[in-house]
Amino acid sequence: MDRHLSAAAPLSGQSDPALPFAASDNWVTSNIQIPMPCPNKKSASEELTPTLEVKGVHHRRLTEVIKTAFEDDTFLDFNIKPYKQFWKPSDDEPVQRVISECYSSNRALELEREVYETLPKPADPNVDTVIAWLMLWSDSTHLANFGTASLWPIYMYFGNLSKYTRCKPSSYAAHHIAYIPKIADFANDVYREQFGREPGDDVMRFLHRELFQSIWFLLLDSEFTEAYTNGILILCADGIVRRIFPRFHSYSADYPERILIVCIKFLARCLCPWCLILKEDIAKLGMKRDMKNRIKKLRRDGLQLRARVDKARKLIFEKGFGVESTAVKNLLDSESLTPVKNAFSLTLQEHNFNIFRLIPVDELHEFQLGKWRDVFVHLLRILQDLKDDSLTILDER
């Protein structure tokens, strides 16, 4: 995969169109610098700290992906206005709200209202305003049952397209926007060469978190933030010019990646990406008081949170404290935060972006591949142990 990517995007900007990830598909290659913390090593500032250079990060510019999607014939199937959908089962039953698509969700309506309230003045009355609901996914994936081959893609769907179309492989609705490289092998060598010691587990966790956010800083570039603020004029596939405002609708991932997205610790005391419920209170799930507490203790993104992270990073890089030292924990552990700057929070702060609202309820990861799967596998083992045709009967059902 790395060989194909390198051949597809050489320094000259030319590429073989027969290869995947060609430059014609707006793939670019960038290098990123990750500051390396070392206990008892002080620097004048974080900017002067020795860095780990990660070369050859393959990614696409989000604005180019958006332009391509709206200029493509697939746009003709896009829903460009959100709405509420209702269903009346019968004349005797009340009307029920139906939420089955991104564009019929409360989130979509909320994002459109947000855009219209902050439209640049004077807005062109002759150009229609359209929201591009961006739905993000990322998933570190093993490519084989044997060996260590793996891939960590970040990909994006447009919520304007029906889920029944998006789910078809033949629709090519998934847009890969970046690939996260592995750093474990060479990071040890670079760190040892710089500091004369092996990086501890806490340092490797820090570098891993920084890598994830650094790639999102690449993706959320100045061109995208300009489009986020003022929209981007696109001649759509139907021949009409529209002003497109990109908005992030959701970011779906399993728990290990959710904590990377929102910059909290893995299964820590406040383990939830949405609220500050303590681990010891999880058993109260389902109680009325529990739901009230979850609403009352929602996580808040803002200046105060970012200031705490900045202060923790100064302790690490300028004062020489360890990443998981007591001084750093005293600043961050009350909300199980990590000393990592969040790309979404920083880049979109003028829009009051709340990173914690980006994570949706995910039935697949939370239930179907979680506890329900465990229970179902256990029940299958019970049937298998009965030594009769119970499993066959279950299959027939």
pLDDT per residue over 49-86, tens digit each? 999 999 999 999 999 999 999 999 999 999 999 999 99
Q: What confidence tens digit (pLDDT) does each residue in 328-370 have?
A: 999 999 999 999 999 999 999 999 899 999 998 776 666 656 6
pTM: 0.85
DSSP letter for each residue of 363-388: HIIIIIIIIHHHHHHHHHHHHHHTTS
d(CA 300, CA 357): 9
Which residue bears the tokens 């896009």? Answer: 78
**How would you write 272-329 as a 3-class SS string?**
CCCECCCHHHHHHCCCHHHHHHHHHCECCCCHHHHHHHHHHHHHHHCCCCCCCCHHHH
Q: Do 112 and 130 touch, CB atoms closer than 8 A? A: no
Q: What is the mean pLDDT of residues 179-192?
A: 90
The neighbouring-strand residues paired with 156 are 136, 175
**pLDDT score of 11 more than 60:** no
Q: What pLDDT is stored for residue 34 in this prediction?
A: 95
Number of Cβ within a 10 Å radius of residue 248: 22
- pLDDT, tens digit (0-9, with 9 covering 90-100), for 117-175: 887 765 677 889 999 999 999 987 766 666 667 788 999 999 999 999 998 888 889 99
Q: What is the DSSP letter of 337?
A: B
Helix H or strand E encompassing 355: none
The separation between CA 322 and the C-alpha centre of its own chain, rounded to angstroms, equals 27
**What pLDDT score was predicted for residue 10?**
46
How far apart CA 155 and CA 62 sit, in angstroms, is: 11
